[in-house]
Amino acid sequence: MSEALFEYLLRLGDNSLILGHRLSEWCGKAPILEEDIAISNVALDFIGQTQLWLGLAGEIEGAGRSADDLAMLRDAWDFRNILLVEQPNGNFGDTLMRQYLFDAWHVLLLQGLVESSNDRISAIAQKIVKEVQYHIERSRDLVIRLGDGTPESHDKMQSALDRFWPYVGEMFIVDTVEQHLIDDGIIPDTSALRGAFDAEIAATFDAATLTLPNSSFAHQGGKSGTRHSEHLGHLLTQMQWLQRAYPGATW
Amino acid sequence: MTQEKSPEWPLWEVFIRGQHGASHRHVGSLHAPDAEIAIKNARDVYTRRKEGVSIWVVPTTAIAASNPDMKGPLYDPSDSKPYRHPTFFDIPKDVGAM
Amino acid sequence: MYAQMVKSEPRDQSAEADAFQARIDAGEKIEPQDWMPDGYRKTLIRQIGQHAHSEIVGQLPEGNWITRAPTLERKAILLAKVQDEAGHGLYLYCAAETLGVSRDEMTEMLLDGRMKYSSIFSYPTLTWADMGAVGWLVDGAAIMNQVPLQRTSYGPYARAMVRVCKEESFHQRQGFDIMMKMAKGTQAQKKMAQDALNRFWYPSLMMFGPSDAESVHSAQSMAWKIKMNSNDELRQKFVDQTVPQAEYLGLTVPDPDLKWNEERGHYDFSEPDWSEFFDVLKGNGPCSVDRIETRKKAWDDGAWFRDAMVAHAKKHKTKVAAE
Put simply, the chain C residues between 184 and 203 with a CB less than 8 A from any chain A CB are 185-186, 188-189
Whether C87 has its CB under 8 Å from any CB of chain B: the answer is: yes
Q: What is the CA radius of gyration of chain C?
A: 21
**Residue B1 pLDDT:** 44
Q: What is the DSSP string of A150-177?
A: -HHHHHHHHHHHHHHGGGTGGGG---HH
- Among the partner-chain residues A32, A37, A141, the one whose CB lies closest to the CB of B44 is A37
- Does residue B6 lie within any of the structural domains? no
**Residue C243 pLDDT:** 97
Kind of pairing between the strands at B11-17 and C266-268: unpaired
Q: How distant is the Cα of A201 from the closest Cα of chain B, in angstroms?
A: 21
- Which residues does chain C have within 8 Å of residue A248's beta carbon, measured at their own beta carbons? 186
- Does residue B54 lie within any of the structural domains? yes
User: Is the pTM for the entire model greater than 0.90?
Assistant: yes
pLDDT tens-digit profile of C198-241?
999 999 999 999 998 866 678 899 999 999 999 999 999 999 99
- Does residue B79 lie within any of the structural domains? no
**Residue B67 pLDDT:** 74
CA of B29: which chain C residue's CA is closest? C94
Q: What is the CA radius of gyration of chain B?
A: 22
Asked if pLDDT for residue C305 goes beyond 90, the answer is yes
Asked if pLDDT for residue C17 goes beyond 60, the answer is yes
Local structure of B32: helix, strand or coil: coil
Nearest-angstrom CA–CA distance, C44 and C95: 10
DSSP one-letter code for A141: H
Asked if pLDDT for residue B2 goes beyond 60, the answer is no
Strand partners, B29: B13
Nearest-angstrom CA–CA distance, C282 and C119: 10
What interhelical angle do A119-147 and C303-322 show, nearest 10? 80
**Residue A48 pLDDT:** 96
Asked if pLDDT for residue C5 goes beyond 60, the answer is no
Band (B73; pLDDT cuts 50, 70, 90): low
**Residue C144 pLDDT:** 94
- Among the partner-chain residues B1, B30, B68, the one whose CB lies closest to the CB of C94 is B30
Nearest-angstrom CA–CA distance, C248 and C251: 8
User: The CATH number of the domain where B62 resides is what?
Assistant: 3.10.20.520
- Does residue B45 lie within any of the structural domains? yes
Residue type for position C25? D
- Among the partner-chain residues A40, A67, A153, the one whose CB lies closest to the CB of C308 is A153
Domain count, chain B: 1
pLDDT tens-digit profile of A57-101?
999 999 999 999 999 999 999 999 999 999 999 999 999 999 999
**Residue C8 pLDDT:** 64
pLDDT tens-digit profile of B9-35?
999 999 999 888 889 999 999 999 999
- Which residues does chain C have within 8 Å of residue B33's beta carbon, measured at their own beta carbons? 309-310, 312-313
Domains and CATH numbers, chain A: 2-209+220-245 (1.20.1260.10)
For residue C105, what are the contacts with CB-CB under 8 A and spacing of at least 6?
none
CA of C84: which chain A residue's CA is closest? A37
- Burial of residue C61 (CB within 10 Å: 0-12, 13-18, 19+) is buried
- Does residue B74 lie within any of the structural domains? no
Compute the mean pLDDT over every residue in chain A, rounded to the nearest whole number.
Answer: 97
- Does residue B19 lie within any of the structural domains? yes
Asked if pLDDT for residue C11 goes beyond 80, the answer is no
pLDDT tens-digit profile of C150-200?
999 999 999 999 999 998 888 999 999 999 999 999 999 999 999 999 999
**Residue B70 pLDDT:** 63
- Does residue B61 lie within any of the structural domains? yes
Compute the mean pLDDT over every residue in chain C, rounded to the nearest whole number.
Answer: 93
Nearest-angstrom CA–CA distance, A52 and A56: 6
Do C279 and C123 meet the contact criterion of CB atoms below 8 Å apart?
Answer: no
Asked if pLDDT for residue C246 goes beyond 50, the answer is yes
- Which residues does chain C have within 8 Å of residue A22's beta carbon, measured at their own beta carbons? none
Nearest-angstrom CA–CA distance, A123 and C266: 55
Please report, in angstroms and rounded to a whole number, the separation of the first and last CA atoms in chain A. Answer: 34
- Does residue B91 lie within any of the structural domains? no
Q: Which of A88-102, B43-57, C41-55 has the lowest mean pLDDT?
A: B43-57
Q: Do A44 and C80 touch (CB under 8 A)?
A: yes
- Alpha carbon distances (Å) from A231 to A76, A83, A89, A235, A242: 10, 9, 11, 6, 19
Residues of the domain holding B48: 11-66
**Residue C2 pLDDT:** 74
Nearest-angstrom CA–CA distance, A197 and A136: 12
